[in-house]
Amino acid sequence: MAQRTRSQQADRIRHLLETEGEAIHTHASASNARRYQTYGETDDIEALRDEARSIKEDAIDRLPDLIETVREAVEANGGTVYVADDAADANAYVSEVVQTETEENGIAGDGDTPSVVKSKSMTTEEIDLNDALEADGIDVTETDLGEWVLQVADDTPSHIVGPAMHLSRPEIAELFNDRFDPDEPFETAEELTRFARDHLGERIRAADVGITGANFVVADSGTITLVTNEGNARKCAVTPDTHVAIAGVEKLIPTLSDLEPFVDIIAKSATGQPISQYVTMLSPPTDSPTLDFDAPDEPITGDGEGAADGTGNADRDFHLVLLDNGRMDMRQDDQLRETLYCIRCGACSNSCANFQSVGGHGFGGETYSGGIATGWEAGVHGQESAAEFNDFCTGCTRCVDACPVKIDIPWINTVVRDRVNRSGDPAAYDFLVDGLTPDVEEGGLDPGKRFFGNIGTVAKAASATAPVSNWLADAGPVRGLLERTLGIDRRRDLPAFQRESLVDWFEGRGGADASKKRAERAVSRGNGADLEREVVLYPDVYTNYVDTERGKAAVRTLEALGVPVRVPDLPESGRAALSQGMIATADRQASKLYAALAEEIDAGRDVVVIEPSDLAAIHREYERLLPERSVDQLRTNSYEICEYVYGLLENGADPSALSTGDGSEPVAYHSHCQQRTLDLEAPTVAVLERCGYAPETSDAECCGMAGSFGYKREFYDLSMDVGERLAGQVEGAETVVASGTSCGDQLETLLERDVPHPIELLAPGGYST
């Protein structure tokens, strides 16, 4: 599979924004909003998520044993279990089941073609079951409304839960009117669903075999669980004489009691419902009686002709097909293993701002879509399939809070990105940068990724030569060269580097000694908290070389509240390298930063960070890069700037030492996405309120800029589409503040005015444009 060029990808994204974006955003954002509400109304939601994850961890750990357990249970019930190695193996087995059924019992319907009816199943999408059966002369009908719409349209799913999410009601009506030519054209949703119900009902009654997926399979009882909002899945399971359930091996859970948290949380996560409309639990074949539509008033059990226990039809046939197709290899892969915990709820898609704009036809591979798709596609279809869309994930981490089993989806995307990087052939010009860039990556790395992954080196050089560097970078020919070689879209404003870095400014005003004296004076005036704390302010790349004013504001604020500050020249956090999938480089940078900060922490100093993405790297990604003890030390002693200010105010510092409002001065505040994942939006809101402002927060998941993402030519239009939704929420406010570098840059472009960091608003002297 050849990857699209930047130009082709940009064209594809623009097409999706124009044709599917509105419908996708309407449905995905609504499901996401309902999930927020339902999670918020569930008192034990975190305990529920923890329990679900624990069960999945245990199940995947015991997977080989559970396969044998479920085999024994299903066979004891009278059914058959088949473990398929891959798609071809699974398809051949299912085709043989259908052919055997019709050869032995004849074709159920009036026609001469064997027929099957299917409920919604992403696993059968993964193996292209429909195409395989149709190639063998078997008629296949999807019975899930969304899947059937796509079958009629010859289209593919755009979401793992809402497959036809990208189509509007008028589009579906037009499709049905063209295909079925009704006496009266379909217009309303009620008319469409009534027609679909009647049409599909006839197909179900006449089918030879019913095929379903399975949301969960209980190993010790052989129980198949179907969780749906339509009733057709259970009809497919119990109406034809033969039922085939196809599920990935990861769907196995040990016992019936283990099922409870999943039934409770899957609908909450997927659609924001307290529980799904239908939860069907079948232990086939004995507990799944065949319905007799010619005798609807007759009882369906206990007629004396069924199984030995009087339930169902003794001739009923059941097959459970458990699919490997790369899953057992994923289980052995320490980095992809977590993908197998996925319960296919789609919450990661709904919570993703990029997905909300383009859907799964952009942010998706051969089968799967959204954040978790990278793990699935790499595992079952191969790394090349994941490479096509992996860069749609910006690592914003909003999916982490959404995932019901707490999968670290951004890390999976980072790992696959790293592997894709390493699989590239060395470019002809790699020797030009070999040894000249500080990264430790292999040859073949995309030059744009190498550039952004080494942004600290770029920024340091640009600052040292500013303002000439700024003038050169913005010149037309240079912008054209940057677009052609690095993929930096010429429409995007470039940052203006400052000649004097924050570290240099701090030393020029007297350094740590002068800062200590200023803090002591604040305490003597009664403004400080008198906690005898000292802060090391982390000079992230952007704060140190571009937006030095927010760094200066942080220094002045801390000193005004009685805390002396140090601003040493510290290594990069590794955040930029991680965003480009350069894990080896990030690992080295993390080790260097830890070594530097450990000395400060051992000296009793607190680490304060302005840029949320750097703090998120320290608190989250360092788990993957550093020893546990080192991570714990950094977590315990590092704080976001407004979080730290809030702590000072809570411990006696006087807010009047800062720039305060009149108690009702409105401020529109957009919190950085990773800041919210760290649960650090609330302290900023609280500080603004304590200082006399009336903050109103945005509910946009992301600004769309996301570091380097918004600079890249192929993603520029998508970035702006996401950003415009955020801008629409805050444009009416006189004052807009944003915690993140990218957030501020994006909003300044869209609003055409300054958007400072909250600390700039609060610092003594206030903020002036």
Confidence of residue 291 (pLDDT cuts 50, 70, 90): low
Tokens matching residue 252: 């196995």
Strands (E), 523-577: 535-538, 565-566
Predicted pLDDT at 308: 41
The region of weakest confidence among 438-447, 546-555, 577-586, 692-701 is 438-447
Cα separation, 505 vs 501, in Å, equals 6
pLDDT band at 294 (very low <50, low <70, confident <90, very high): low
Q: What is the mean pLDDT of residues 442-461?
A: 92
What is the predicted pLDDT for the residue at 303? 45
Share above pLDDT 70 across residues of the chain, in percent, rounded to a whole number: 94
Residue 485 has pLDDT above 70, yes or no: yes
Q: What is the pLDDT confidence band of residue 310, given thresholds at 50, 70 and 90?
A: very low
Q: How many CB atoms lie within 10 A of CB 99?
A: 17
Question: How is 47-74 classified by DSSP, letter by letter?
Answer: HHHHHHHHHHHHHHHTHHHHHHHHHHHH
pLDDT grade for 664, boundaries at 50, 70 and 90: confident
Give the tens place of pLDDT for each residue, 335-389. Answer: 999 999 999 999 999 999 999 999 999 999 999 999 999 999 999 999 999 999 9
* Residues in a beta bridge with 118: 142, 211
Q: Stretch 459-467: mean pLDDT, rounded?
A: 97
Contact status, residue 600 vs residue 593, Cβ threshold 8 Å: no
pLDDT of residue 763: 96
The token duo for 408 is 């670290």
| Tens digit of each residue's pLDDT (9 = 90 or more) over 22-67 | 999 999 999 999 999 999 999 999 999 999 999 999 999 999 999 9
**Dihedral of the alpha carbons of 361, 28, 276, 677, in degrees to the nearest 10:** 110
Q: How confident is the model at residue 176 (pLDDT cuts 50, 70, 90)?
A: very high
Average pLDDT, the chain: 93
Pairing of strands 115-118, 139-142: parallel
Q: What are the structure tokens assigned to 740, written together?
A: 């993140």
Q: In the prediction, which pLDDT does 491 show?
A: 96
- Average pLDDT (407-419) is 97
pLDDT in tens, 670-705: 999 999 999 999 999 999 999 999 999 999 999 999
Nearest to 248 by CA among 121, 359, 140: 121
> Where is average pLDDT lowest: 139-153, 196-210, 281-295, 576-590?
281-295
607-618 per-position pLDDT tens digit:
999 999 999 999
Helices marked H in 82-231: 87-105, 122-126, 129-135, 145-153, 169-180, 189-206
For Cα atoms 162, 345, 362, give the angle at the middle one, nearest 5 degrees. 55
Which stretch of DSSP H or E encloses residue 505? helix 502-508
285 preceded by a cis bond (ω within 30 of 0): yes
pLDDT at 660: 86
pLDDT at 190 over 60: yes
Q: Does 433 have pLDDT greater than 80?
A: no
Paired strand residues for 253: 218
Confidence at 307, pLDDT banded by 50, 70, 90: very low
**pLDDT on residue 213:** 97
Residues 6+ positions from 577 with CB-CB distance below 8 Å: 439, 453, 454, 583, 585, 586, 589
> Nearest CA to 359 among 369, 351, 367, 368?
369
Q: Check residue 251 and report its DSSP letter.
A: G
Cβ distance 253 to 228 under 8 Å? Answer: no
CB contact at 8 A, 268 and 404: yes
Contact call for residues 441 and 585 (beta carbons, < 8 A): yes
- Which pLDDT score is estimated for 309? 47
pLDDT per residue over 56-106, tens digit each?
999 999 999 999 999 999 999 999 999 999 999 999 999 999 999 999 888
- 4 by Cβ neighbours in 10 Å (0-12 / 13-18 / 19+) ranks as middle
What percent of the chain clears pLDDT 90, i.e. is strictly above it? 87
Condensed to tens digits (0 to 9), the pLDDT of residues 382-405 reads 999 999 999 999 999 999 999 999
pLDDT of 565 above 60: yes
Structure tokens at 732: 């009416």
